[in-house]
Structure 1
Amino acid sequence: MKLLLDENLSHRLVGLLAAEFPDSAHPRQLGLRGASDQTIWDYAREHGFAIVSKDNDFRQRVFVEGPPPKVIWLSIGNAGTSAIAALLRSHAPEIRAFARSAQEGLLVIEKAPL
C-alpha cells in the first residue's frame, strides 16, 4: 500500500517507512505543498494512494464521498515523528488487510494508552 502522508505529518516519515510502505510520498516531494484537501484527495485517488492524516478533514471526507482513496486516521495527539513511524510499522499487517478490503474506507489507528 502506498501512503500519501498529510502535510501535517513530517516528510521524514517517507524514508522511515520505506521498507514497510515503499512508494509512499509526502505532498512536499510531489509539488503539492500547501495544496487544498480536495487536491490531495484527487491526487491520492488518481495515483492509488491511501491518505494518512491526524486531522479530521479526510476522515470526514471519506464518510461523505467514500473511497477511493482510503483514509488512515491517526488518533494520536501530539506524537513525534519516530513514534508515528513506530505506530504505523506496528500496524503494518492491519494496514495491508485494510488495503485489500473492498468495503472499508477508513482505518483508525490509536496510540496505545500509557
Structure 2
Amino acid sequence: MKLLIDMNLSPRWSNVLATAGIDAVHWSTLGANNAPDSEIMAYARTNDYIVLTDDLDFSAILAVTHGEKPSVIQVRTNDVSPDVICKQIVAALNQMASELEAGALLTVDTNRTRLRVLPLQQKH
C-alpha cells in the first residue's frame, strides 16, 4: 500500500507514516504545488497510490466520475496534524487494507471511521 499525501496536509505526514511502516509520499515532491485535484487523482490512479487528504473535492471527483480508483482517505477533523489523528489513520489502514487496495473511500474523524466501496453509488 502506497499513500499519496495531498498538498493540504503537512509533509510531516510522510515521516510519521513511514515510522508506522507505511509507504507515503507528499505531493510536493512529485508535482506542482498548485496542481488541480484532478491531476493528483490521475497520478495516484496511474501509479497505484491511495490519496490521503482533508479536501472534500476528492470524494466529489469520485462521485461525479463513478471512479473505481484511486482510493481516497479523507481526514475530517479540525486539527489534521499527524500528532492528533495518525494512530487512528494507521489503525484504519491496517484494518481496511484489502478494501482500500480494491477501491474505497475511507473517512476518518476523531469519533468514527466510515468506509464506502467504489464506485460510489447514488442512494435512491
TM-score above 0.5, yes or no: yes
**1:97 equivalent in alignment to 2:95:** no
Deviations along 1:45-87, whole A, 9 cap, x unmatched? Answer: 1100011111110011111221211111111122323113222
SS at match of 1:40: helix
More strand by proportion, 1 or 2?
Answer: 2
Residue identity opposite 1:108 in structure 2:
T
Matched with 1:2 is: 2
Q: Match of 1:25?
A: 25
Cα drift, residue 88 of structure 1: 1.5
Where has structure 1 moved over 3 Å in runs of 4 or more? none
Structure 2: tracts of 5 or more residues without a match: 113-124
Consecutive unaligned residues of structure 1, counting only runs of 5 or more, are none
| Distance across 2 between alignment mates of 1:28 and 1:95 | 27
TM-score (normalizing by structure 2): 0.77
TM-score, normalised to structure 1, is 0.83
Q: Note if 1:56 corresponds to 2:56.
A: yes
C-alpha contact (below 8 Å) 1:76/1:111 kept by paired residues? yes
**How many residues end up aligned between the 2 structures?**
110
What CA RMSD, in Å, does the superposition of the two structures yield over aligned residues? 1.8
